[in-house]
Amino acid sequence: MNYRKIEFGSSINKELELILVQIAKWHNLTPKQWKLDYRVSKEDIDETVQRIKNAKNEDLFITIVEDKQEQIQGFIWAYKQKKHQDSVMILSLYIEEDFRGKGLATKLKTLLEEWCHSEGIKKIHTTTHYENHNMIVLNQKLGYIPGMVNMTKIL
C-alpha cells in the first residue's frame, strides 16, 4: 500500500479534482452506514470539495492510501482548529470495506500524529458514531480518550 499526502496550491489538476470528489463522496456517504435511507446530493459533494479547496494548505492534512494499482482505498482528512492552533480535528477517515482490518486506518492516524508533531500540534479531536465499534476500539487502542456524547430526539 502507498500513503500519499495531498497538497495543492493555486491550481488543481484533473487527477487531484477526482481525488477530492472521491473523498467528498466517501465523507458524505458515511452516515448511510447507520441511516439506510440517508441520501447525498451532488450539491453535498460539491460543497465538501469546495470546503477542502477553501482551506489553507498549511492547515490541512489529507492523506490517501492507494493499492498496487494506484486505486484509492481510503483517506484521512483533518485540519487545524482556528481558535486553538495547537489542535487538529479529524473530519473524516474512511477505508474501503475490503481493506478494513489491515492496519490502514492505524497507519493514517499515525501519519497524522507525525504531521502534528512537526507542526507543534498538541491535541487531536475526532468524533465517531456510537455504533462504529471498530473505530471506537481503534481510537482507544491509539490513546484517544472518550468525551462528550451527543444525543438527539426527533419530535
User: pLDDT tens across 82-128, in order?
Assistant: 776 789 999 999 999 999 999 999 999 999 999 999 999 999 999 88
What is the reported pLDDT for 33? 63
Neighbours of 52 (CB within 10 A): 21
| Res 123: pLDDT | 92
| Domain at 2-141, CATH homologous superfamily | Gcn5-related N-acetyltransferase (GNAT) (3.40.630.30)
pLDDT of residue 57: 85
Q: How many angstroms separate the first and last alpha carbons of the chain?
A: 46
Confirm whether pTM is higher than 0.75.
yes
User: What is the reported pLDDT for 84?
Assistant: 64
Specify the pairing of strand 72-80 against strand 60-66.
Answer: antiparallel
Query: Which pLDDT value is given to residue 40?
Result: 76
Cβ contacts of 50 within 8 Å, gap of 6 or more: none
Task: Read off the C-alpha cell for 85.
Answer: 492552533
Q: What is the DSSP letter of 10?
A: S
d(CA 79, CA 58): 9
Least confident of 22-36, 38-52, 53-67, 134-148: 22-36
pLDDT value of residue 32: 59
Pairing of the two strands 87-95 and 72-80? antiparallel
Q: 72 forms bridges with which residues in the sheet?
A: 66
Q: Which residue in 71, 97, 101 sits closest to 1, CA to CA?
A: 71
User: What residues contact residue 143 under an 8 Å CB cut-off, 6+ apart?
Assistant: none
Block residue for cell numbers 456517504: 29
63, β-bridge pairs: 5, 76
- Do residues 26 and 88 lie in contact, with contact meaning Cβ atoms separated by under 8 Å? no
Higher-pLDDT residue of 8 and 19 is: 19
